[in-house]
A and B are shown apart, each in its own frame.
Chain A
Amino acid sequence: MVEEESVRVVRCGGSELNFRRAVFSADSKYIFCVSGDFVKVHSTATEECVHILQGHRNLVTGIQLNPNNHLQLYSCSFDGTVKLWDYVDGILIKTFVVGLKLHALFTLPSAEDSVFVIINKEKPDVFQLVSVKLPKSSSQEIEAKELSFVLDYINQSPKCIAFGNEGEYVAAVRDFYLSVYFFKKKTTSRFTLSSSRNKKHAKNNFTCVACHPKEDCIATGHKDGKIRLWRNFDDDKKYTYTCLHWHHDMVMDLAFSVTGTSLLSGGRESVLVEWRDATEKNKEFLPRLGATIEHISVSPAGDLFCTSHSDNKIIVIHRNLEASAVIQGLVKDSNIFTGLMVDPRTKALVLNGKPGHLQFYSLQHDKQLYNLDIIQQEYINDSGLIQIELTKAAFGCYGNWLATVEQRQEKETELELQMKLWMYNKKTQGFVLNTKVNMPHEDHITALCFCNAEKFENPTLVTSSKDGHFKVWILTDDSDIYKKAVGWTCDFVGSYHKYQATNCCFSEDGSLLAVSFEEIVTIWDSETWELKCTFCQRAGKIRHLCFGRLTCSKYLLGATENGILCCWNLLSCALEWSAKLNVRVMEPDPNSENIAAISRSSVGSDLFVFKPSEPRPLYIQKNISREEVQWGVFVPRDVPESFTSEAYQWLNRSQFYFLTKSQTLLTFSTKSPEEKLTPTSKQLLAEESLPTTPFYFILGKHREQQDEKINEAFESELVQLPLTENIPAISELLHTPAHVLPSASFLCSKFVSSLLLSKETKSSEEISEDVDMEEGKESDDSDEENDFTEKIQDTNNTDLGEDLLHQLSKSEEKELRKFRKVDYSWITVL
């Protein structure tokens, strides 16, 4: 099914959505944001990703609507090209090759056939604003080498450039000066603020600039939180400015509303400030936006704003300052202590998110599912404050339990530790705090693990700590006369010669617990908590410890700090083999015997995949990343792949994801980048991406049919459903972009005939062969999906579907499938 290609390391989502200002479509229906090498098109109403525009080979650095055709979008990238897209269909129209690294893109309605880009030609930090003439040509790929220089020595950030008064002038700020270039006069005026040498004005560096859409007025943001409004700047002497001051910290971005009556500003305070009429006293706030506002943009229609935040999210805000939608990517601005985990329920990647939160990130859809507030305290953003940090987390019992550890250490002797155990609540579909343990240990907790074996009906958790103990916690009945409850208590405390406990690990069947005490590995019987045996290799402290799985469950693996990987046989209690490998990350695959180890060498990180039973690795990939790899995890695949090549077989059941020090999430893939993305997102239109709840079917499209055939029974209505909905001719007519449709006269007869009530819907398929083929492809896709969806469905409504299935046409089948996908779990709740 999938062609065998070489396995490559690819970036898999989690890219910065906040790298550049987001852009609205002219009708405010869509919002565009850069995301790594792609441009994402989201619906502003539903937050759903509608298209991913892919084609750039490097980071996308700027997007702008085509001012002459508001259904088209320009984008520029570090790969030196400017691309023009039809964002409604997600089609690349043209590529203009400039050949220089492009840092930002600007378009002007007055300059029809050219765009402005920021480049750096000579020295590394001397940036220039140039205008690029886009030649008119019918070919797909056009060379655009005609550059004309506008401004030199500018800041590379696009926030520091703004065009004003319909392109009469361009304002650029850098350090302590504002320069304004007038296109007509071809002159530059420069206004300098007294620099930091003067202590009173220590921090009045310029940070951003915006131009009034109607008047000759430039707003600049400053490091000390001031906003200056410059006027009369066409006169070097008579220029004047006024100050607006509310922000206490740097102004990160500024934007004027479409009419220019209000100015929006934001910064580290995470408050969007709207200055009405540019007066200091008349301002409105939208507070508590969660993280530093990095960018602000305004829709051309004027009804929406959006703010991009440092925690990789975009908030769409109504004109009346009400947040209406949140597009959240992978949060990246904190240290990852918990490592990468997979939530067994949602298959989401779980790691540290916002300060004090765990984030659940869907790898499939490249979006954050939700945040779990672990610390549950107000986060105070102040440098130098020592915060409570979420250091460890683990899932247990198929996602029914979550254990977290948070710590705060102000001085050497003052350690605050807290362990929390969270139970999954099916009703609320979320984790609820069950037990809070203050100071579970005297010192830092080094590891925690659940016993995930099936035979253990009593959930068990083991924590190991630097204080030399490991503790076993079990779930006990905590009921009293008022209510039934369960809670966690400490069941056993173990230690070994006062050594620090560094790791703990349960065997697959849960019968054995391995705890490493510095250089020594101890094996405990999990029923009696008896010390069974010890292994000691004197090869340095144990850094990683794990049991083998399935056929290899008799092996125990340990990686030491001195760069030795040991494998012990638990039956013979002897060292099976050892290898010299400086292991940084060691992760077992839950679905196979394979274990992945990532070692660090001087040039980069190398991946080794092996089975514990044999010291020879199955697969080696050198230099998977230049940076140090910090964490890795195997994520089980929904659909197993079938790589025949022996080297890639380890990827069949699970996919391996890893996180580098700069928090880039990487994985291995054999597909080409075009294929890699989920095909379902390709043809989704905004209205179709509405959540398919039962209400949607009752109240939405099906309302009309109900009116028509109001006396018909429910089953027969189901049969009738496809009649108007899924006739290919209609969907073709409605969903094909207007510019590729044949003439209306040609389509008319087809369309009308398709509307006629026919006994056999096949007749409509016969009309156009190509449509049928498309249809076939689509249903293939949905077949694939169904393998998965059927598994998780409730049974009460599938019965109904199965009965009908044999007598339905293809399109009807499809509709039914769609219907079946509906989540009816809410009925059980009622």
Chain B
Amino acid sequence: ASTSGAEHASARARGAAVERDEPPAIGIRCVAYNNQSNRLAVSRTDGTVEIYNLSANYFQEKFFPGHESRATEALCWAKGQRLFSAGLNGEIIEYDLQALNIKYAVDAFGGPIWSMAVSPCGSQLLVGCEDGSVKLFQITPDKIQFERNFDRQKSRILSLSWHPSGTHIAAGSIDYISVFAVKSGSAVHKMLVDRQYMGVSKRKCIIWGVAFLSDGTIISVDSAGKVQFWDSATGTLVKNHLIANADVQSIAVSDQEDSFVVGTAEGTVFHFQLVSVTSNSSEKQWVRTKPFQHHTHDVRAVAHSPTALISGGTDTHLVIRPLMEKVEVKNYDAALRKITFPHRRLISCSKKRHLLLFQFAHHLELWRLGSTVATGKNGDTLPLSKDADHLLHLKTKGPENIICSCISPCGSWIAYSTTSRFFLYRLNYEHDNISLQRVSKMPAFLRSALQILFSEDSTKLFVASNQGSLHTIRLLEGSFKHLHTFQPQSGTVESMCLLAVSPDGNWLAASGTSAGVHVYNIKHLKLHCTVPAYNFPVTALAIAPNTNNLVIAHSDQQVFEYSIPDKQYTEWSRTIQKQGFHYLWLQRDTPITHISFHPKRPMHILLHDAYMFCIIDKSLPLPNDKTLLYNPLPPTNESDVIRRRTAHAFKISKIYKPLLFMDLLDERTLVAVERPLDDIIAQLPPPIKKKKFGT
């Protein structure tokens, strides 16, 4: 009975659904796996770079916003923690992984950069340019420095690979592969690649990827659908595998050099393994083993972690396919993971005015929800008495992507930030007209924000900047006043990514990417306490009304409840930690991205991830591993006794297509924002047409 109100509300909200023009989906261009920290860097075609922590259930813990002119073509890790990217604007960029901004950009002066590789020892960086030059850079502790050019080739260098000893490199160009000696910088071999494709001569054969193995074998993948093995000592072709009718676009070799993975434009990922010819001989050969078809479009990038094959492409999915033979125990890592949606909130809502603010890469959209007067049963779609309105379309100035945005609960303020500028707008509602007024003269310290939050009464604005500081600003009619800046803890420069404010406006909770959650007292403007640090990053934060309990969701699907006034975990949280969560709950795919509360039902916690919406009723007993977690709607004809007996604290609804946002507007209304996958696919360019038997 307790859930029916919420579900009824959900029926209403779906009736008031908003139909919008979708922005183009942004495909994955490069992936780079870092073995030391078990992190994965992913760059997208708009220049966005995302960092996934593979140890923390593949949580997207950091991201660097994109830039229109900064299309990345290559991404690589150096010396463990340093991340470099290079792109078509000819610049090499290093990212600051602590402050989450760009450290510096160096122009390579070779035209667009197509490829980049870090030497095995991590001290040198090699880039391949449009003009056919291969440039060697020295990596110094805080910068990179140009060292010299290699012999210039005729056409662009599309792929680069170091020999594990660091003495030679292989460079893939158009129609040929060159082998350079690093010492002299001269080409040792030039290996021509066959242009023929299934008997038909294509115009050009582009070497999309090369890999140099320690035994001197070079593996190349090209636009004619071939995977070829070359002997670098003699410069001869050893073996040829024709695997696709279209381009083979990417290759990644495991560290042990016993397996590699290639991605094709048909969306197929092929796994190659080095197997012994017979069990009693030492002779080994490369064999194509399993094909994986998890993508519909081009697989532009692949990576090979010790236990998994990682692939990403135009269809925006990042797919992590574990290698079953490498997985020791069946756990979270043993299942196929497909990451499609960002692990952060892109939508905010104004409860008072029923407004939704959608954040896109280069614009914001403000919508007013429709409403209905009709009533119906659970699951009914009700007719709208008033349609949803598109109130505002706010385009950013400049080439930079929006980092974050927020609308105040009263609906009269909008704030957003790009990498270099912070914007605050005042909205005025006059009947049906709406006017927008930019608040000018933002202070110098408010240049860039990682997270913005308005207080419940819309009088205060909290901004997490990328230096790790938290600014508190009082909002007045048309102007503002800087109240206070909470400086980061001594010694750390870690940026805060998540903010939560208590409804009474007394407490502010902030969390970074790894360290614990800090709770600040806003009235006294000081740090109140720090929640004990936990191994996994925080994915969502919220403070409950009245009780001021802080609810924290972590990427390993644990949920904690921490009492701010008592500075300790609540009794319920201790109980659930003692008993443990249901195994199915822990096996879920996506992190919890939003937590909210029902103002009239203090025992309820509302939370959602991309595939489910859950109400945790703290008054009910916890489920154990034997009970059914995902209970279907209890049949109405059963008696209340049975229903009560089978009821447990987790009430889960999985009816949603991928769910981006869900919040309670008022006591009887819940708003949900879905993003159907079909809509994303519909925006993509058509995939390569393949003839299928029987069609």
Which of chain B's residues has its CB closest to A241's CB?
Answer: B289
Q: Is A279 on the interface with B (CB-CB < 8 A)?
A: yes
Q: Is B243 on the interface with A (CB-CB < 8 A)?
A: yes
Closest 8 CB pairs of A and B: A281-B242, A240-B289, A231-B275, A242-B289, A234-B279, A216-B278, A215-B277, A232-B275
Q: How far is the CB of B292 from chain A (nearest CB, A)?
A: 11
Q: How far is the CB of B128 from chain A (nearest CB, A)?
A: 29
Q: Which residues of A contact B279 (CB under 8 A)?
A: 165, 168, 216, 234
With beta carbons under 8 angstroms apart, the residue of B244, B276, B287 that contacts A242 is B287
Within 196-243 of B, Cβ neighbours of A (below 8 Å) are at 198, 225, 241-243
Q: Is B273 on the interface with A (CB-CB < 8 A)?
A: yes
How many residues of A sit at the interface, in one of the four size bands? 20 to 34
Q: Which residues of B contact A168 (CB under 8 A)?
A: 278-280
Decide if A215 touches B278 in the complex (CB within 8 Å): yes
Decide if A165 touches B275 in the complex (CB within 8 Å): no
Q: Is B426 on the interface with A (CB-CB < 8 A)?
A: no
With beta carbons under 8 angstroms apart, the residue of B243, B280, B290 that contacts A280 is B243
Q: Is A455 on the interface with B (CB-CB < 8 A)?
A: no
> In the bound complex, what is the Cα–Cα distance between A229 and B291 (angstroms)?
12
Decide if A242 touches B291 in the complex (CB within 8 Å): yes
Decide if B290 touches A242 in the complex (CB within 8 Å): yes
Residue in A168, A229, A242 with the greatest tally of chain B CB atoms within 10 Å: A242
Q: Is A238 on the interface with B (CB-CB < 8 A)?
A: yes
Which of chain B's residues has its CB closest to A169's CB?
Answer: B279
Task: Other than A232-B275, A279-B243, A280-B243, give 12 A-B pairs with Cβ distance below 8 A.
Answer: A214-B278, A215-B277, A216-B278, A216-B279, A231-B289, A240-B287, A242-B287, A242-B289, A243-B290, A243-B291, A279-B288, A282-B242
Q: Which residues of B contact A240 (CB under 8 A)?
A: 271, 273, 275, 287, 289-290, 325
Within 273-324 of B, Cβ neighbours of A (below 8 Å) are at 273, 275-280, 285, 287-291
Decide if B273 touches A248 in the complex (CB within 8 Å): no
Residues of A within 8 A of B (CB): 165, 168, 214-216, 229, 231-232, 234, 237-243, 248, 279-282
With beta carbons under 8 angstroms apart, the residue of B243, B278, B289, B694 that contacts A281 is B243
Q: Which residues of A contact B271 (CB under 8 A)?
A: 240
Q: Which residues of A contact B275 (CB under 8 A)?
A: 216, 231-232, 240
Q: How far is the CB of B539 from chain A (nearest CB, A)?
A: 32
Decide if B278 touches A237 in the complex (CB within 8 Å): no
Query: Using an 8 Å CB-CB cutoff, how does the interface string of B317-361 with A read, 1 for contact, 0 for none?
Result: 000000001000000000000000000000000000000000000
Q: Which residues of B contact A231 (CB under 8 A)?
A: 273, 275, 287, 289
Decide if A216 touches B243 in the complex (CB within 8 Å): no
Decide if A248 touches B694 in the complex (CB within 8 Å): yes
With beta carbons under 8 angstroms apart, the residue of B273, B278, B289 that contacts A165 is B278
> In the bound complex, what is the Cα–Cα distance between A243 and B293 (angstroms)?
13
Q: Which residues of B contact A241 (CB under 8 A)?
A: 289-290
Q: How far is the CB of A185 from chain B (nearest CB, A)?
A: 9
Decide if A279 touches B289 in the complex (CB within 8 Å): no
Known: A168-B279, A248-B693. A238 touches B325 (CB 8 A): yes
> In the bound complex, what is the Cα–Cα distance between A282 and B240 (angstroms)?
11
With beta carbons under 8 angstroms apart, the residue of B241, B276, B694 that contacts A216 is B276
Within 580-629 of B, Cβ neighbours of A (below 8 Å) are at none
Q: Which residues of B contact A216 (CB under 8 A)?
A: 275-279
Q: Which residues of A contact B276 (CB under 8 A)?
A: 216, 232
Q: How far is the CB of B384 from chain A (nearest CB, A)?
A: 39
A-B contact count (CB 8 A): 57
Q: Which residues of A contact B289 (CB under 8 A)?
A: 231, 240-242
Q: Which residues of A contact B693 (CB under 8 A)?
A: 248
> In the bound complex, what is the Cα–Cα distance between A333 and B685 (angstroms)?
51
Decide if B242 touches A279 in the complex (CB within 8 Å): yes
Q: How far is the CB of A201 from chain B (nearest CB, A)?
A: 14
Q: Which residues of A contact B280 (CB under 8 A)?
A: 168
> In the bound complex, what is the Cα–Cα distance between A281 and B273 (angstroms)?
18
> In the bound complex, what is the Cα–Cα distance between A248 and B273 (angstroms)?
28
> In the bound complex, what is the Cα–Cα distance between A282 and B226 (angstroms)?
12
Q: How far is the CB of B223 from chain A (nearest CB, A)?
A: 15
Within 380-407 of B, Cβ neighbours of A (below 8 Å) are at none
Which of chain B's residues has its CB closest to A216's CB?
Answer: B278
> In the bound complex, what is the Cα–Cα distance between A240 and B275 (angstroms)?
9
Q: How far is the CB of B138 from chain A (nearest CB, A)?
A: 41
Q: Which residues of B contact A165 (CB under 8 A)?
A: 278-279
Q: How far is the CB of A214 from chain B (nearest CB, A)?
A: 7
Residue in B276, B278, B280, B288 with the greatest tally of chain A CB atoms within 10 Å: B278
Q: Which residues of A contact B325 (CB under 8 A)?
A: 237-240
> In the bound complex, what is the Cα–Cα distance between A168 and B280 (angstroms)?
10
> In the bound complex, what is the Cα–Cα distance between A279 and B285 (angstroms)?
14
Q: Which residues of B contact A237 (CB under 8 A)?
A: 325
Q: Which residues of A contact B288 (CB under 8 A)?
A: 242, 279
Decide if A214 touches B277 in the complex (CB within 8 Å): yes
Q: Which residues of B contact A238 (CB under 8 A)?
A: 325
Q: How far is the CB of A134 from chain B (nearest CB, A)?
A: 28
Q: How far is the CB of A336 from chain B (nearest CB, A)?
A: 33
Q: How far is the CB of B328 from chain A (nearest CB, A)?
A: 10
Which of chain A's residues has its CB closest to B694's CB?
Answer: A248
Q: Which residues of B contact A232 (CB under 8 A)?
A: 273, 275-276
Q: How far is the CB of A576 from chain B (nearest CB, A)?
A: 64
Q: Which residues of A contact B273 (CB under 8 A)?
A: 231-232, 240
> In the bound complex, what is the Cα–Cα distance between A216 and B280 (angstroms)?
10
> In the bound complex, what is the Cα–Cα distance between A231 and B288 (angstroms)?
10
Q: Which residues of B contact A242 (CB under 8 A)?
A: 287-291
> In the bound complex, what is the Cα–Cα distance between A239 and B275 (angstroms)?
9
Within 260-277 of B, Cβ neighbours of A (below 8 Å) are at 271, 273, 275-277
> In the bound complex, what is the Cα–Cα distance between A240 and B287 (angstroms)?
10
Residue in B198, B245, B271, B325 with the greatest tally of chain A CB atoms within 10 Å: B325
> In the bound complex, what is the Cα–Cα distance between A237 and B242 (angstroms)?
28
> In the bound complex, what is the Cα–Cα distance between A280 and B242 (angstroms)?
8
Q: Which residues of A contact B278 (CB under 8 A)?
A: 165, 168, 214-216
Which of chain A's residues has its CB closest to B258's CB?
Answer: A238
Residue in A229, A240, A280, A282 with the greatest tally of chain B CB atoms within 10 Å: A240
Which of chain B's residues has its CB closest to A248's CB?
Answer: B693
Q: How far is the CB of B72 from chain A (nearest CB, A)?
A: 32
> In the bound complex, what is the Cα–Cα distance between A242 and B273 (angstroms)?
10
Which of chain A's residues has its CB closest to B239's CB?
Answer: A277
Q: How far is the CB of B335 from chain A (nearest CB, A)?
A: 15
Q: Which residues of A contact B245 (CB under 8 A)?
A: 281
Q: How far is the CB of A233 from chain B (nearest CB, A)?
A: 9
Q: How far is the CB of A718 from chain B (nearest CB, A)?
A: 58
Q: How far is the CB of B495 from chain A (nearest CB, A)?
A: 43
Which of chain A's residues has its CB closest to B279's CB?
Answer: A234
> In the bound complex, what is the Cα–Cα distance between A232 and B289 (angstroms)?
11
Q: Which residues of B contact A243 (CB under 8 A)?
A: 290-291
> In the bound complex, what is the Cα–Cα distance between A216 and B285 (angstroms)?
11
Which of chain A's residues has its CB closest to B280's CB?
Answer: A168
> In the bound complex, what is the Cα–Cα distance between A214 and B280 (angstroms)?
12
12 sampled A-B residue pairs with Cβ under 8 A: A215-B285, A216-B275, A216-B277, A232-B273, A232-B275, A240-B289, A242-B288, A243-B290, A279-B241, A281-B198, A281-B225, A281-B244
> In the bound complex, what is the Cα–Cα distance between A214 and B693 (angstroms)?
33
> In the bound complex, what is the Cα–Cα distance between A240 and B277 (angstroms)?
13
Q: Which residues of B contact A239 (CB under 8 A)?
A: 325
Q: Which residues of A contact B225 (CB under 8 A)?
A: 281
Which of chain B's residues has its CB closest to A215's CB?
Answer: B277
> In the bound complex, what is the Cα–Cα distance between A311 and B6 (angstroms)?
68
Q: How far is the CB of B224 from chain A (nearest CB, A)?
A: 11
Within 671-694 of B, Cβ neighbours of A (below 8 Å) are at 693-694
> In the bound complex, what is the Cα–Cα distance between A216 and B289 (angstroms)?
14
Q: How far is the CB of A826 from chain B (nearest CB, A)?
A: 45
Q: How far is the CB of A203 from chain B (nearest CB, A)?
A: 14
Q: How far is the CB of B169 from chain A (nearest CB, A)?
A: 29
Which of chain A's residues has its CB closest to B245's CB?
Answer: A281
> In the bound complex, what is the Cα–Cα distance between A279 and B245 (angstroms)?
13
> In the bound complex, what is the Cα–Cα distance between A15 and B245 (angstroms)?
46
Q: Which residues of B contact A279 (CB under 8 A)?
A: 241-243, 288
> In the bound complex, what is the Cα–Cα distance between A168 and B277 (angstroms)?
14
